[in-house]
Amino acid sequence: MAVRVFLVPGFFGFTNLGDFAYFSHFREVLSDRLADAGVEAIVHPLDTLPTSSMLMRARRLYEHVKAQYEPGDEIHLVGHSTGGLDARLLASEGLTIQGREEILPAIRSVTTIASPHRGTPTAAFFSSLLGQRILRMLSLVTVATIRFGSVPLPVLVWLGGAFASTGALSWASGGVFDQVYKQVLRDFDDDRRRSLEEFFDKAYEDQTLLPQLSPEAMDVVHAVTRAAPHVRCASVVAMAPEPSLSRQRTLGLKPFWQAQYGIYRALHLLASTTPESLHNFPDAAQRRALVKAFGDVPKQTDNDGMVPALSQVWEKVIHATYADHMDVMGHFHGPGLHPRHVDWLRTGSDFGLDEFEALLGAVAKHIVDG
């Protein structure tokens, strides 16, 4: 009998592209924390269909789990972002996936991290034709930044401008997108460039997931999706500081960091616009966990740059922290660490190694004993 932990990626749904590994830091630290608790788990980082429908992604997750599962194994699912929704669906009652009932009794726990259980307003923006192109560029810039430590400054300036109405119009005309896209790709060798282009082409062909992640659509999904009674369910909530000039000044005069912060400011604004009629109100136990972490319950507008904080609240809140959407995967500013940690965006969250290890300690504890 083996204890198997499956790591399910989210919106930027790649596991390994060249030297980029989505779960590299996460897998290492989680394995250590589980070993500290006396559990020698087999941790499986998975890939997914990045922007395919939730049902297609859940089927893909089932196929991955079934390929590794042997009778008597324990299964634990840990999902980041939309990967948490995949895990939640796979462990839910009434899901129609042929063969799923064989593994369902073995699923012991589901842990979601920064997952949009009540949807995210960013989905509507990225569902548009322009938004799809910006998402493609944002994904590529994320990979390049974490891989190389930076991208050309003009790329960030153009990307930041694309979120503004006037910048978006110029972005869509004159082949600017193609020029910037090629400028980022040229830093990769031929094999990695082909892998990236194939990945993003596949994601671009199927955008079914994006409208499904709207707060309006997820309101229905959340209402009708219930985990099987034997599955222990928990969530981790991340919230980055609200953008401000005073916080931006603390970044100093580095143009690269300032440009990153401009992109974060735009993303934070997009994620703060959940319609009032769809606001989520945590229960008493969830509120206590949030107050313990943040000093108060997050506002409906608070978010991690991608997902509203209160949309991430689901079942038992085992951990909450100041962090942005990729900090919680170990992609935070830590140039002096070994292995090196590289931030995808400068958000002023001050999330570091201590916070990362505390988060994964909570995840390991939930896996081991709930």
Average pLDDT over every residue of 90-106 = 91
Answer yes or no: do 98 and 233 share one domain.
yes
259 occurs within a structural domain? no
**What is the count of structural domains for the chain?**
2
Answer yes or no: do 10 and 108 share one domain.
yes
pLDDT at 17 over 70: no
Per-residue model confidence (pLDDT) at position 7: 97
Answer yes or no: do 365 and 230 share one domain.
yes
Per-residue model confidence (pLDDT) at position 170: 54
174, 191, 209: which is the final residue of a domain?
209
Which token pair is 295? Answer: 């000093």
Per-residue model confidence (pLDDT) at position 347: 93
Sheet holding 74-80, edge to edge: 42-45, 3-8, 74-80, 107-113, 232-239, 316-322
Answer yes or no: do 241 and 336 share one domain.
yes
185, 209, 233: which is the final residue of a domain?
209
Q: How far apart are CA 85 and CA 49, in angstroms?
A: 13
Answer yes or no: do 318 and 335 share one domain.
yes
User: In this structure, are residues 301 and 272 in contact, taking their beta carbons and an 8 Å threshold?
Assistant: yes
266 occurs within a structural domain? no
Answer yes or no: do 81 and 182 share one domain.
no
Give the β-pairing of 316-322 and 232-239: parallel
CATH of the domain at 308: 3.40.50.1820
User: In this structure, are residues 324 and 367 in contact, taking their beta carbons and an 8 Å threshold?
Assistant: no
Answer yes or no: do 311 and 233 share one domain.
yes
Q: How far apart are CA 11 and CA 330, in angstroms?
A: 16
pLDDT at 182 over 70: yes
Per-residue model confidence (pLDDT) at position 24: 87
Answer yes or no: do 346 and 250 share one domain.
yes
Average pLDDT over every residue of 188-214 = 78
Answer yes or no: do 307 and 194 share one domain.
no
263 occurs within a structural domain? no
Say which range, 81-85, 137-141, 240-244, 351-355, has the weakest mean pLDDT: 137-141
Average pLDDT over every residue of 127-133 = 80
Per-residue model confidence (pLDDT) at position 166: 45
75 occurs within a structural domain? yes
Per-residue model confidence (pLDDT) at position 187: 77
262 occurs within a structural domain? no
User: In this structure, are residues 264 and 272 in contact, taking their beta carbons and an 8 Å threshold?
Assistant: no
Q: How far apart are CA 71 and CA 171, in angstroms?
A: 53
Average pLDDT over every residue of 122-136 = 84
- Taking only the tens place, the pLDDT of each residue in 313-369 is 999 999 999 999 999 999 999 888 877 888 889 999 999 999 999 999 999 999 998
196 vs 273, more confident = 273
Per cent of the chain over pLDDT 90 is: 59
pLDDT at 15 over 80: no
Sign of CA dihedral 250, 254, 259, 264: negative
pLDDT at 143 over 50: yes
Answer yes or no: do 241 and 166 share one domain.
no
Answer yes or no: do 328 and 244 share one domain.
yes
The whole domain housing 164 covers 123-209
CA dihedral 43, 47, 49, 55 (to 10 degrees): -20
Give the β-pairing of 20-21 and 16-17: antiparallel
Per-residue model confidence (pLDDT) at position 105: 96
Average pLDDT over every residue of 124-143 = 83
Q: Count the helix, strand and coil residues of the chain and give each as a percent rounded to the nearest 5.
A: 50, 15, 35
Contacts of 217 (CB under 8 A, 6+ apart): 119, 211
Which token pair is 30? Answer: 């989680």
pLDDT at 84 over 80: yes
- Can the peptide bond before residue 241 be classed as cis, meaning omega within 30 degrees of 0? no
Mean per-residue pLDDT over the chain, rounded: 88
Answer yes or no: do 113 and 134 share one domain.
no
268 occurs within a structural domain? no
Per-residue model confidence (pLDDT) at position 140: 83
Per cent of the chain over pLDDT 70 is: 92
Per-residue model confidence (pLDDT) at position 144: 83
CA dihedral 356, 361, 366, 370 (to 10 degrees): -140
Q: How far apart are CA 264 and CA 55, in angstroms?
A: 30
177, 193, 209: which is the final residue of a domain?
209
260 occurs within a structural domain? no
Contacts of 83 (CB under 8 A, 6+ apart): 7, 8, 9, 10, 13, 48, 115
Per-residue model confidence (pLDDT) at position 217: 94
90 occurs within a structural domain? yes
